């Protein structure tokens, strides 16, 4: 009997959770969270709020970028011992610029096939909301923090002939917009989706020049996804 056959039936669920509006969770996700013996959460305080809203009483444990190397083995040991473990991040789908990849990779190495519970994602939300052609697109996560590396990163993307999607921090979004304008040109079309599905959601569209001028000096808040039209 091979390892995958012997581990069939073990329960490790990778669960997508709302990116803002709590009503966006699926019936299946709620069932999985309620049936689990343990929920591994990127931020237990944030997940506790979601659980309280839906009367999920499953115990929580932290699992985030700073402890995933230490806790991956422990969580999978619990799964192999028969525990039903669900994994969530602060919002959206685990492993999409969030913890999850390492756990899935190690689970597969052990012959554990994770159950993927699809649902909300800031990435797919922006794909739909950006208003750009997305029959072909590229996702590059968070761009480099330092200006010279960020500009080199953008220069390498400049001729990719696709719509490019990025995540960015409120602390660096102004610098990113300026660099897009400088590297890719004034007329490069941008869309910035801020606070998707939340009360103060905002969709900003325009050329790099327009966005730079209209939002110069702004104090940015919330979570951001940036779409850049780099089609030739």
Q: Same structural domain for residues 130 and 114?
A: no
Phi, psi of 109 (to 5 degrees): -60, -35
H helix or E strand, kind and range, residue 205: strand 202-207
What's the domain range around 91? Answer: 3-120
What single string gives the DSSP state of each residue in 130-196? S-S--SSEEE--SPPSSHHHHHHHHHHHTTS-SEEEEEE-TTTHHHHHHHHHHHH-TT-EEEEEEST
Confidence check: pLDDT of 5 > 60: no
In a 13 Å sphere around the CA of 25, the CA atoms on its Cβ side amount to 20
* Per-residue pLDDT reduced to its tens digit, 104-116: 999 999 999 999 9
pTM of the predicted model as reported, rounded to 2 decimal places? 0.88
Q: Same structural domain for residues 104 and 204?
A: no
| Distance, CA of 19 to CA of 15 (rounded, Å) | 12
Q: Same structural domain for residues 84 and 34?
A: yes
Among 52, 55, 45, 50, smallest CA distance to 19 is for: 50
Question: Domain end: 75, 105, 120, which one?
Answer: 120
Q: Same structural domain for residues 178 and 95?
A: no
Number of independent structural domains in the chain? 2
Confidence check: pLDDT of 81 > 90: yes
- Res. 6 pLDDT band, cuts 50 70 90: very low
Question: Domain end: 101, 120, 139, which one?
Answer: 120
Q: Same structural domain for residues 113 and 94?
A: yes
Phi, psi of 178 (to 5 degrees): -60, -40
Confidence check: pLDDT of 2 > 60: no
- Give residue 232's pLDDT: 73
CATH number at residue 27: 3.40.1010.10
Q: Same structural domain for residues 74 and 181?
A: no
CATH number at residue 175: 3.30.950.10
- Give residue 110's pLDDT: 95
- Give residue 75's pLDDT: 97
Question: Domain end: 93, 120, 147, which one?
Answer: 120
| Distance, CA of 93 to CA of 47 (rounded, Å) | 13
Dig out the tokens for 192 from the structure.
């910035």
H helix or E strand, kind and range, residue 61: strand 60-62
């Amino acid at each position: 009997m091979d390892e995958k056959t012997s581990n069939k039936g073990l329960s490790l669920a990778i669960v997508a959770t709302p990116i803002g509006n709590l009503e966006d969770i699926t019936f299946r996700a709620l069932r999985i969270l309620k049936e689990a013996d343990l929920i591994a959460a990127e931020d237990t305080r944030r997940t506790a709020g979601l659980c309280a809203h839906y009367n999920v009483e499953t115990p929580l444990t932290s699992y985030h970028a700073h402890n995933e190397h230490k806790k991956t083995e422990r969580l999978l040991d619990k799964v192999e011992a028969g525990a039903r473990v669900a994994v969530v991040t602060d919002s959206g789908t685990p492993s999409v610029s969030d913890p999850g990849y390492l756990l899935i990779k190690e689970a597969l190495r052990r012959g554990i096939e994770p159950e993927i519970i699809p649902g909300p994602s800031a990435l797919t939300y922006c794909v739909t909301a950006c208003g750009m052609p997305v029959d072909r697109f590229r996702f590059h996560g968070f761009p480099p923090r330092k200006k010279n590396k960020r500009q080199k990163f953008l220069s390498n993307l400049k001729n990719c002939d696709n719509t490019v999607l990025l995540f960015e921090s409120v602390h660096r979004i102004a610098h990113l917009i300026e660099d897009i304008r400088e590297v890719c040109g004034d007329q490069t079309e941008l869309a910035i989706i801020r606070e998707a599905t939340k009360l103060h959601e905002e969709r900003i569209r325009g050329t790099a020049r327009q966005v730079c001028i209209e939002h110069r000096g702004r104090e940015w808040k919330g979570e951001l996804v940036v779409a850049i039209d780099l089609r030739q």
